[in-house]
Amino acid sequence: MGRTVPTYRLVIESIVSDWLPYKRALRDRDKMIFDSLMTKARMHTSASSYANRMEPLESVFMSILLEQQKEIELLKMRLEGLKE
């Protein structure tokens, strides 16, 4: 029997695919950053699947924000280390 509801991994790949025309219009450097953001979104597929949001794009954005916040916190710690 087939699935009636696609897995979140399939949903996120569909979202990434939907954004490909946008990516193609970006400059090369921005394309790399776009890919990095999509990688960040993929890093939290289990949590996003568990959250089961009505709008899966919300989970994509939350995953990206979470990873960016982790990077900010790491940079803050490094900066504090340099000040000492």
Task: Write the pLDDT tens digit of every residue in 10-45.
Answer: 999 999 999 999 999 999 999 999 999 999 999 999
* Average pLDDT of every residue of the chain: 92
Predicted TM-score (pTM) of the model is 0.84
Of 57, 67, 73, give the one whose Cα is nearest residue 37. Answer: 67
User: Mean pLDDT across the stretch 61-71?
Assistant: 97
Q: Is the dihedral of CA 27, 30, 34, 39 positive or negative?
A: positive
